[in-house]
Structure 1
Amino acid sequence: MKEDRDLLFLQQAKNEELKTLCDILTYDTDGEIRMAEQLTNTDAYLYCYPYRLNMIWQEIARELQRFGGNTIANLCRGEGVKYREILQDVCKKLKVYFHDYESTETIEKHLLEKVCMESVENMSEAELRSMAQELDIPIKNPRKYMLVAAMQMAIRRGGVLLSRIAVYITNMISRMLIGRSALLIGGNVLNKTIGILSGPLGWGITAGWVVYDLSSPAYRVTVPSVIQVACMRMQQANG
């Protein structure tokens, strides 16, 4: 892979988190292997998937860089680009405001805040109450601005709520964009953490994303992949 300090943390990531990222990179919306992916036929993948993915974190990172090279300016470069460039491209695609001088982590926080805002905006009152309950946000009669404020504060300050939000976002975005749960892992580790993975609440949090033009096959990879990487970094930082 291209030397990329923003992806070095993947070597310490949990296996189930790497599996989610790996599945986003390799499976399409029908749950079939992506035609453009170059990972699943490698000996390293066949040996390590799904339980030893830390051993091939570099190969996973390389696959993300390569897909990113197919979205930047819509050019098929034939080689990968660094994660920060992919992140900025995704933010521009989703109309997330950021400054070039900001750190990668800060830009990721802007992205996650936008995800939260878009998700909450499309929820009914019943869905808002369900989300507050699932995330253990102590608001009896939640309103949209209350949930947005609580999640923005968590994203900026960290803590347990941020970890819950990161897992929640990862699951909901994955369900919409790869068409199946990316969390079917041994022991359903993340399933136990969050609980509701479908139904009205799941539709509510993903509804805000259908307005974006993700018709490009590469964007259908890079958008959820970048959101997943951002969530992984946040969870690791909040240990």
Structure 2
Amino acid sequence: MSINSIIDSDLEDLIQNADGEDLSILADFITDKGSGRIALDASVCKVLNDASKAGMFTQSERSLLAEELRLFGGNGFANMMRGGRGVQYREIVCDVADHVKANYNAKAPIADIEFSVLTKVLEKSMEDMSEEDKKKLFEDFGVGYTQGAGPMTTAALIAAARASGFGIYKLTVIVANAVSKAILGRGIPVVVMAPWLRGISILTGPVGWALTALWTAFDLAAPAYRVTVPCVVHLAYMRQKAAVKRCKKCDAPMAIDAKFCSECGQAVA
């Protein structure tokens, strides 16, 4: 079990600085909740599963996590030609974006390409939502919902999210939480811990993002995409979480120019 030396700052930097509980979700996507996969070495599966259960990852285990994701991102022949090192994370994100038919620029920052994937998941999910759930989702972002708005519905929601300070982060939390609950049976840790998320009704409502819907919409029957699609969505959330400004008292996200926390009133130093 050797850690490769591939330079991939888009992935490595994020994983090396991430919270252990967020990495547990990533590890469970890769190991199929510890039950293993055909393309995953049994010893690697055990190491990642043990770290996932503990919620703690050493530096080498974090590198191993990144390595295994890169290996899933490339086909067997390509991995052999690369010396078993898999593919760069940017290549994985672009491949996933192509697979879900997202609109993206391959030269854009990695966060933008990840968000294009997440946006497509949201778009597909909204197709299966009831009008009432769509209304609740829009209300969570402080905007009105026009019934039967069609393809413009997702665009309007994203525009509202971009205009609300930390709205993009909030949106990634909602989508990543839904994907995690659908595939792993549990949501992301921040949803349980963060007081500022308790008012988001759509997190506990029937959002219609069932596992079967994800499988059908994005053809996740292919073993690699069963790993890479949810991993890219989760990494999109992790990247937004790492970039957002947080209150030092209650950990709520804040707009970059905020002087006080809107949740607890703490002054920003």
TM-score range, shorter chain: 0.7 to 0.9
Structure 1 pair 204/168, CA: closer, same or farther in 2 (3 Å)? same
Structure scoring higher RCO (CA < 8 A, sep ≥ 6) equals 1
C-alpha distance in 1 between matches for 2:190 and 2:170: 19
Counterpart of 1:34 (choices 33, 37, 46) is: 37
Name 1:22's counterpart in structure 2: 27
Whose Rg is larger?
2
Could you tell me how far 1:124 is from its partner in structure 2? 1.3
Give TM-score scaled by structure 2 length: 0.70
Deviations 1:160-208 (A, max 9, x none): 32222112111212233x352254x599436983566566314379846
Name 1:236's counterpart in structure 2: 242
Name 2:137's counterpart in structure 1: 131
C-alpha distance in 1 between matches for 2:177 and 2:191: 16
Deviations 1:86-130 (A, max 9, x none): 111111111112233222222222222222222223211111133
Name 2:17's counterpart in structure 1: 12
Structure 2 gaps of 5+ residues are 246-269
Could you tell me how far 1:13 is from its partner in structure 2? 1.4
Say whether residues 1:203 and 2:206 are aligned partners: no
Say whether residues 1:121 and 2:130 are aligned partners: no
Which amino acid is 1:148 matched to? T
Counterpart of 2:115 (choices 101, 109, 117) is: 109
Say whether residues 1:63 and 2:61 are aligned partners: no
Give TM-score scaled by structure 1 length: 0.78
SS in 1 for 2:206: helix
Structure 1 pair 198/70, CA: closer, same or farther in 2 (3 Å)? farther
Name 1:173's counterpart in structure 2: 179
Could you tell me how far 1:222 is from its partner in structure 2? 0.7
C-alpha distance in 2 between matches for 1:94 and 1:126: 26
Which amino acid is 2:30 matched to? L
C-alpha distance in 1 between matches for 2:176 and 2:24: 12
Structure 1 pair 50/132, CA: closer, same or farther in 2 (3 Å)? farther
Structure 1 gaps of 5+ residues are none
Structure whose residues are more often helix by fraction: 1
Superposed CA RMSD in Å reads 3.4
Could you tell me how far 1:209 is from its partner in structure 2? 5.8
C-alpha distance in 2 between matches for 1:104 and 1:45: 27
Structure 1 pair 10/157, CA: closer, same or farther in 2 (3 Å)? farther
